[in-house]
Amino acid sequence: MPITSLKTAPGQAPQTAGDVVDTVQIMLSRLKAGGAQVALEYARQLDGWKGEIKVMQAEIEAAVARVPQDMKDDIAWAHDNISRFAAAQRATAQDMQIELRPGLIAGQKQIPLGAAGCYVPGGRYTHIASALMSIATAREAGVKDITACSPPNGDQGIPDEMLYAMQLAGATRILCIGGVQGIAAMTHGLFGAPPADILVGPGNAYVAEAKRQLFGPIGIDMFAGPTDSLVLADKTADPETVAIDLVSQAEHGANSPVWLATTHKPLADQVMARIPALIDDLPEPNRSAAEQAWADLGEVTLCDTAEDMAQYADDMAAEHLHVQADDLPWWRNRLQAYGSLFLGEDTTVSFGDKAAGPNHVLPTSGAARYTGGLSVHKFLKTVTWQEVDERVLPDLARVTASISRAERMEGHARAADIRLEKLSHHLKVAANH
């Protein structure tokens, strides 16, 4: 695959540092032993939050009343898209049964999880859309109890718009607590919440590491690293649009890689020339984040053909993959490894991040090679069942016993044998009558 690097990334997206792993392990141990009291101590110490952890209904109603109507309408518009897409996904997850042989019936059921914990990040940005993406998707999957938690924004607590989004999406309760302590609160069922069956939602390195360490007895959506984005562009693409799209994703943070692959060198040159000015025009702290992300992690690659670009994209397995090139149906059918695919110049990752409908909680750091993003399927258990009657019992018992003895598992074989013996006895009794 002939490719030429026009801009290389001198830095490398950081892996989870050992001190993060150790810190989270210590915190989780203390939180498991000390429960709500320790969680409250961490909230006071790390977030500076002096208020109650559980947000009361009266506070939510007051916050909702403060949100301007046009903002409510916009959040509701996005929520409608996200909920409708999740509902359509849910309709694809069906119960089924099949008679594999006469007398051997097997099937599957889709069972919603009982309780979900949805982490909504705060800090530099107010992630309204993340609240909708996780909570509404859980609700459409049929989860009965949904705890949402988010760190406070100073003395204000959770921002009004966020509380409105959480309530609209269907949170059963809202906790004003972030970080590892927020994850532990949902895991162990603190502050009036039941223990969660699954933890979902993006967060910083400490949140991601907490989810990783807790995974096993409790489910998680995925182990997510810094967000990443790849644009594929040919000579038909507009350099200004491509540059803006790259900068828009770089503002996520200094550790968020953005990449461009193109078959048209003049476009690459124009994009690279334009990006510094676009970054410089951003407000702080967005400017500094985007500037470092582009300088340390940004890459531009020149490919010979569209197929070379497609193979490059499959190798990268980007979280966000945006095609700004001719023949979009070919790209949709050809590309195989991405978290979410954005087709055409009129599409942008920003639409998917905020309001388009498909979920924006997606696999990062190459994980798109083996998994997709958050969906209703993450909140469903696909379980199987089987039922046997005497029509298939002789063959099924014989084959089971044969394979069991070949595996040297005599107990399994005898469990099959006894059923065959009982059937033989039953048939003999029936014949004598």
Catalytic residue ranges: 319-320
Distances (CA, A) of 76 to 128, 132, 169, 170, 246: 11, 10, 9, 12, 28
The label of the residue with tokens 């690279």 reads: 272
324-355 as b/e: b if 16+ CB within 10 A: bbeeeeebeebbebbbbbbbebebbbbbbbbb
CA angle 198, 202, 207 (to 5 degrees): 80
Do the beta carbons of residue 221 and residue 361 sit within 8 Å? yes
Q: Output the CA angle 174-178-180, nearest 5 degrees.
A: 125
| 28: exposed, middle or buried (Cβ count in 10 Å: 0-12, 13-18, 19+) | buried
The DSSP output letter for 236 is T
CA neighbor of 237 nearest in space, from 267, 204, 206 = 267
The H-or-E segment that residue 38 falls in is helix 18-46
Neighbouring CB atoms inside 10 A of 228's CB total 28
